[in-house]
Amino acid sequence: MEGKILAGRYQIVKLLGEGGFGKTYIAIDTHLPNNPECVVKQLNTNKIISETNLQIARRLFNTEAEVLYKLGNHEQIPRLFAHIEENEDFYLVQEFIQGVELSKEIQPGCKLSVQEVICLLKEILEILVFVHQQNVIHRDIKPANLIRRQQDRKLVMIDFGAVKQVNTQFLSLQSQSGVTVAIGSHGYMPPEQLVGNPRFCSDIYAVGIIGLQVLTGLHPTKLPVDSNSSEIAWRGFCTEADSQLYDILDKMIRYDFRQRYQSCTEVISSLNNIYLTKIQISQTSYLKNRIEVIEGDITKQKVQAIVNPTDIQFSGGGGVDYAIHKAAGPRLKEECKRLSFWDRGQAQITSAYNLDSRWIIHTVGPFWQGGNNKEGQILSQCYINCLSLAQEYSIKTIAFPSISTGTFGFSIQLATRIAVREVKTFLEKHRFPEKVIFVCFSKDTYNCYIETLEEIINF
């Protein structure tokens, strides 16, 4: 194969690996300047004898190439450049990812801390959310299929679909004729997949197993299985105590798939929800580190999300709302138009377009009417709903203006008290957002926040 040029463009350089029905090569793209490297996966059809099976292979290959093409829209999944059929062999040409496989990072005996494990699990699960949304089950999640990209240190998920899905089909054809080819990897594959019934939660199982591997420092095949329950008996190999993470892992790797988490977002949400340990909470300094008060303009903040107090028409009509719309540009207005009607106290998230932040969380605060119309409760809901969205999106830093204290006429003192109380309660229970910044537009508001924080959290 070396030296062969596919489709008059991709020149095979060397063999990277070989599996059941195919081979993977490094190639160069002779049509682009500097001839960048790419990966060519070949589905070898030598073993497919009948014309009908060849047609099935072709159909699967084409459908799966379409799926891969869609998946490649995610920045942590290699892009598909081409799919080629030549002399009844099928090829996929993909982006080459420069980096190190996770399997090389986690050598035997290498243990990560609880916090590091949580980050790793979330990073893998966030990619899988997208994959599952496209109705694809990866089927072979393992450290060797996750590459830590050199350029940005992000994980990239590789080895998808086409060749594998086609393989799986032929696996059943082959097994009828007595030849078996293993799909999936020993130790990472859940029982239902072993009998040919993979589900979305089979991928969740595999991610859970990676979690066990990095927590215990043991390869999954080295972990004992309880003969009564068939569950993996892994906890005895951990040094740190963190029952919340351990409970989540247990639910990811249950022997019976019905007892597992059924979606990746559910797992992410549980991971985000891990309560801070008692020690962390008792350190008042810890909360202090997560709250900041500044005097300034919220539209200038370099944070992941800013909060926009708006009205139920999302008009961008006045106050901060106007300033945010002006700074974000007209595309924000377009997106806001598509949002549905809200009640006061609710929150919704949009992109932040031209702003330095990634997100805007819009919330409709209460209009002060003398205090007898649940204004306090509604304002609390604004804070809780904004913070919950921040948590759901794993937002690290969020900036709040003083909601409802302008056009909507709430007293600064009362609004500040509610803001501080809700932020404190939320942060004590959640890891995200990691930091909340109160952005005050005037010296008076700033002083009010400082005094209230001193009183409520010893700021």
Residues that bind ligand AR6 (CB under 6 A): 297-299, 309-311, 315, 317-321, 323, 365, 401-408, 439, 441-442, 445
In angstroms, rounded to a whole number, what is the distance separating the alpha carbons of residues 169 and 389?
Answer: 41
CB of 400 to ligand AR6, least distance (A): 9
If the CB atoms of residues 55 and 315 are measured against ligand AR6, the closer one turns out to be 315
What is the CB neighbour count within 10 angstroms for residue 412?
A: 18
- Single out the catalytic residue among 29, 140, 242, 321: 140
The CA-CA-CA angle for residues 97, 93, 154, to 5°, reads 20
In angstroms, rounded to a whole number, what is the distance separating the alpha carbons of residues 101 and 74?
Answer: 19
- Reduced to 3 states (helix: H, G, I; strand: E, B; else coil), residue 373 is coil
CB of 442 to ligand AR6, least distance (A): 6
Whether residue 195 contacts residue 202, with contact meaning beta carbons closer than 8 Å, is answered with no
CB of 404 to ligand AR6, least distance (A): 4
Which residues have CB under 8 Å from 124's CB, separation 6+?
141, 146, 155, 157, 207, 210
Nearest CA to 70 out of 133, 114, 5 is that of 133
Residue 69 CA neighbour count, 13 Å, CB half: 10
CB of 449 to ligand AR6, least distance (A): 11
Query: Phi and psi (nearest 5°) for 50?
Result: -85, 155
Residues 156-188 as b or e (16 or more Cβ within 10 Å = b): bbbbbbbbbbbbbebbebbeeeeeeeebbbeeb
Nearest CA to 136 out of 199, 80, 183 is that of 199
CB of 245 to ligand AR6, least distance (A): 38
CB of 40 to ligand AR6, least distance (A): 53
CB of 413 to ligand AR6, least distance (A): 12
If the CB atoms of residues 187 and 406 are measured against ligand AR6, the closer one turns out to be 406
If the CB atoms of residues 36 and 329 are measured against ligand AR6, the closer one turns out to be 329
If the CB atoms of residues 224 and 409 are measured against ligand AR6, the closer one turns out to be 409
In angstroms, rounded to a whole number, what is the distance separating the alpha carbons of residues 387 and 391?
Answer: 6
If the CB atoms of residues 174 and 346 are measured against ligand AR6, the closer one turns out to be 346
If the CB atoms of residues 35 and 442 are measured against ligand AR6, the closer one turns out to be 442
Q: How far is CA 355 from CA 323, 324, 332, 364, in A?
A: 11, 8, 10, 21
Tokens of 283: 């350190």
Q: Which helix (H) or strand (E) holds 106?
A: none
Whether residue 118 contacts residue 240, with contact meaning beta carbons closer than 8 Å, is answered with no
CB of 357 to ligand AR6, least distance (A): 13
If the CB atoms of residues 11 and 445 are measured against ligand AR6, the closer one turns out to be 445
If the CB atoms of residues 58 and 333 are measured against ligand AR6, the closer one turns out to be 333
Q: How far is CA 436 from CA 27, 398, 439, 446, in A?
A: 48, 5, 10, 15
Is residue 140 among the annotated active site residues?
A: yes
**Beta-strand relationship, 347-351 and 359-364:** antiparallel
Tokens of 67: 């799926």
CB of 361 to ligand AR6, least distance (A): 13
CB burial class (10 A; 0-12, 13-18, 19+) of residue 289? exposed
Sheet holding 99-101, edge to edge: 99-101, 146-149, 155-157
Radius of gyration of the chain (CA): 27
If the CB atoms of residues 258 and 443 are measured against ligand AR6, the closer one turns out to be 443
- Reduced to 3 states (helix: H, G, I; strand: E, B; else coil), residue 190 is coil
Positions annotated as catalytic residues are 140
